[in-house]
Structure 1
Amino acid sequence: MNNRNLAAAVGVALGAALVTSACDAGSAGKQARSECVQIVDESTGKKTGDCMPLAPKKDRVDLGKPAFSRSTSITNPLHPSSEVKQVIYGGHVDGKPFRTEFTLLPGTKTITLKGEQVKARTMQYMALSDGRIAELALDWFAQADDGSVWYLGEDVFNYRDGVVADTEGTWLAGKTGPAAMIMPAMPETGDVYRPENVPEVVFEEVTVKATGQTVDGPYGPVKGAITVNELHMDGTREDKVFAPGYGEFSTGNAQGDLEAVSLAVPTDAKAGPLPGELTALSGAVRAVHDGPTDATARKARAAWDAYEASDRVPRLLVRQMEHDLDALTRAVAAQDAGAGRGAALRVAQNTVDLRLRYEPLVSVEADRMDLWAHQLTIDADAGDKGSVAGDVTSLELTWDRVRPGTPADKAAAVDDALRELREAADGKDTAAAAKSAPRLLAALGAAS
């Protein structure tokens, strides 16, 4: 996973400055080094004049020149970017439910590094705060011949009220700065590397704290994990865990901001039919999504209790579903339509995630397209311009993952419907969006 600071998922990347001589006189006594990346005050975005406490250069394991002859086969177990098709992360950031869909996209991107053409795999990072689009990033990774994984840049789009607010944090290796190691081939305690190394744009320095750990995975213990400590541009630090079969496994902690794996495929996939209790839950949640009422909320809660009692459910997904069902119950009791719509959306998202374990990814992605199309209808009828804009964006981003496997004639119909909805969203015309939504639903039905 791209090694971004959690705060940047809903905010703006901070600046930094690289100075080739020692830091200013005030901090030179604290850190006598030939390199200085200045700490930036997060509240003002201004350089403080103090140097970050960088690790000694001798500890760096990312200073060699990587060779990329098989760059798109990314099999490093701690960053298996071409093996894992999708990872779902959950948690909370800034006091709000936070959820991420991290998905391998088809095809490759060619990036020029000092005259060498390197093919990279693309991962789509789609982050949602309180159920709504907060950030999109397209991350490019390549594996070197020694097994280390390198981060070759990202296109970042930060959203506010469903529209792009800025693209802070965007960078490209070979243009903005150098390629950056994001995972050594065989990390050892004390190893230091920089997953992002473009001062004034993005910068992180990582130190491996422990290896050979066992962590609680979504469906059982996972061996071979590592814990690293990450130094950010504002001088703060946080621990991250990486685990085989998942890549980035968790960031932060339950007491503060947290982003952790809910489940991943194919790592957590299970053969066999969809459990009947999960099918029943999906039906009950669809009813509450279409109309949050006391009756539909109670049925969704009962269906969830029955499913949880019948199947093994990852603890993080249990906490998320309980939180969102409680929020739904409170919103319905308070007759708060907006809060009810938001809680129903999150409950629906959680339920679709649970289907990942049993159904092919392509089927689950089709469910997500249907979910967002229905949400669009609900938000358009409510006259919520910002949510409509976000719904259309979420549809477009999910469609980027679904379209490659869709027959051309059916894909064209969905493309046309999405273009019509984009025009309505950009024009803040919720009435037009409400009229166009049935066309999209029909096109999606034909494409499924």
Structure 2
Amino acid sequence: MAVGLCGPESALHFDRTAFPASPRIDNKWFPLTPGMQYTTTGTVTSAEGDTERTVVHSVTGLTKVIDGVKTQVLWDRDYADGELVESELAFFAQTESGDVWLFGEYPEEFEGGTFIGAPNTFLSGISGAQAGIAMQTEPRTGTVSYVQAHAPAVGFLDCGAVFKEHEPVCVPTGCYDDVLVIDEHNPLEPQVGHQRKYYSAGTGLVKVTAEGGENQETLDLVKAEKLSDAQLQEINQQALTLDQHAYQVNPDYATTPKAEVATQSSGGK
């Protein structure tokens, strides 16, 4: 058990029976509705200069069992100066009481358009990795930090804390009056600094900023759209292909059940 990884009272209390048989993620701060796609754009500033970054988050209709829990699959594509640098599957599930948990990530890395590996893969229950809380049911300022996930084999530890509530924020998709700000950091990598993630009820992530650290990253939500049924089915197929490739790449991943298509309709045309 992770005792105090993110400070006092931050031990993880993972209970498989707290999750429903089929995933449904409707936490107002972190909704994952199959067929929704969110695009964020921004800049990463480092000693080498600025890089334009675009991340496309696609909520697939796939499910995958991780650590005995059926999770929902999110597919992220990360572009630097227009070139794909990472394609990632991330696995989430929500407890009956409303906490959203992260169960693992499979991030494929690319260089010059060529796949170079997925060294930062972690899956809850394998190689000491533990699922953690991606978003609380009722986040409040003044509460203790919590573990978002822990994977010692790859040096992954994300700690979250509610930094602010009721913040006004404007991004290209509009202005939001009641934004929740979560401070995130990895105590194992203090040189990275902190991220501040801004969430709007009903939408989810709308902004990312940096506090300290070697690289300064900012991202704003520029598009939130419901895909058509045909688009969702294409997204499902591409994510399935990524899931299948992972079995050839990562021995840990090869021990998990294959992803399955659970939803093919977004409610769109």
- Per the normalisation by structure 2, the TM-score is 0.73
Q: Tell me the CA shift for residue 141 of structure 1.
A: 0.5
2:28 to 74, 77, 98: 77
Distance 1:78 1:213 in 2: 14
Q: Could you tell me whether the CA contact under 8 Å between 1:71 and 1:143 is conserved in 2? A: no
Q: Could you tell me whether the CA contact under 8 Å between 2:62 and 2:236 is conserved in 1? A: no
Q: Does 1:262 align with 2:222?
A: yes
- The letter of the residue matching 1:135 is E
- The letter of the residue matching 1:178 is Q
Deviations 1:94-128 (A, max 9, x none): 4121111110112211223xxxx321110101011
Distance 1:209 1:162 in 2: 38
Q: Tell me the CA shift for residue 402 of structure 1.
A: 6.4
Distance 1:84 1:211 in 2: 28
- The letter of the residue matching 1:228 is I
Q: Does 1:251 align with 2:246?
A: no
Q: Tell me the CA shift for residue 189 of structure 1.
A: 0.7
In structure 1, what is the equivalent of residue 8 of structure 2? 56
Q: Tell me the CA shift for residue 181 of structure 1.
A: 0.7
2:147 to 194, 213, 216: 194
How do 1:408-427 and structure 2 match up within 5 A?
none
In structure 2, what is the equivalent of residue 380 of structure 1? none
1:97 to 38, 52, 64: 52
Distance 1:217 1:74 in 2: 24
Distance 2:168 2:14 in 1: 30
Aligned partner of residue 38 in structure 2, secondary structure: strand
Q: Could you tell me whether the CA contact under 8 Å between 1:139 and 1:154 is conserved in 2? A: yes
Residues 97 and 399 of structure 1, relative CA distance in 2, 3 Å threshold: farther
How do 1:11-160 and structure 2 match up within 5 A?
54-57=6-9, 60=10, 62-63=12-13, 65=15, 67-69=18-20, 71-82=22-33, 85-94=36-45, 95-112=50-67, 117-160=68-111
Deviations 1:3-34 (A, max 9, x none): xxxxxxxxxxxxxxx9x9xxxxxxxxxxxxx8
Q: Could you tell me whether the CA contact under 8 Å between 1:93 and 1:258 is conserved in 2? A: yes
In structure 1, what is the equivalent of residue 137 of structure 2? 185
Q: How many residues are matched? A: 225
- Per the normalisation by structure 1, the TM-score is 0.45
Q: Tell me the CA shift for residue 183 of structure 1.
A: 0.4
Deviations 1:338-365 (A, max 9, x none): xxxxxxxxxxxxxxxxxxxxxx5467x5
Distance 1:259 1:100 in 2: 9
Residues 55 and 362 of structure 1, relative CA distance in 2, 3 Å threshold: same
- The letter of the residue matching 1:240 is K
Q: Does 1:170 align with 2:121?
A: yes
In structure 1, what is the equivalent of residue 185 of structure 2? 231
In structure 2, what is the equivalent of residue 215 of structure 1? 169
Distance 2:35 2:159 in 1: 25
Deviations 1:290-348 (A, max 9, x none): xxxxxxxxxxxxxxxxxxxxxxxxxxxxxxxxxxxxxxxxxxxxxxxxxxxxxxxxxxx
Residues 208 and 150 of structure 1, relative CA distance in 2, 3 Å threshold: same
Distance 1:155 1:206 in 2: 21
Aligned partner of residue 235 in structure 2, secondary structure: helix
Aligned partner of residue 130 in structure 2, secondary structure: coil
Aligned partner of residue 245 in structure 1, secondary structure: coil
Q: Tell me the CA shift for residue 228 of structure 1.
A: 1.6
Q: Could you tell me whether the CA contact under 8 Å between 1:71 and 1:144 is conserved in 2? A: no
Q: Tell me the CA shift for residue 149 of structure 1.
A: 0.2
- The letter of the residue matching 2:42 is G
What stretches of structure 2 of length at least 5 have no aligned partner?
A: 242-269
Distance 1:69 1:244 in 2: 23
Aligned partner of residue 216 in structure 2, secondary structure: coil
Q: Could you tell me whether the CA contact under 8 Å between 1:70 and 1:145 is conserved in 2? A: no
Q: Tell me the CA shift for residue 248 of structure 1.
A: 2.4
Q: Could you tell me whether the CA contact under 8 Å between 2:101 and 2:135 is conserved in 1? A: yes
In structure 2, what is the equivalent of residue 242 of structure 1? 199
CA radius of gyration, larger in: 1
Aligned partner of residue 179 in structure 1, secondary structure: strand
Residues 164 and 141 of structure 1, relative CA distance in 2, 3 Å threshold: same
Residues 102 and 123 of structure 1, relative CA distance in 2, 3 Å threshold: same
Q: Could you tell me whether the CA contact under 8 Å between 1:87 and 1:246 is conserved in 2? A: no
Q: Tell me the CA shift for residue 403 of structure 1.
A: 4.5
Q: Tell me the CA shift for residue 69 of structure 1.
A: 1.6
Deviations 1:242-282 (A, max 9, x none): 2223322222259932122112124xxxxxxxxxxxxxxxx
Distance 2:236 2:95 in 1: 29
Q: Tell me the CA shift for residue 399 of structure 1.
A: 8.8
Aligned partner of residue 122 in structure 1, secondary structure: strand
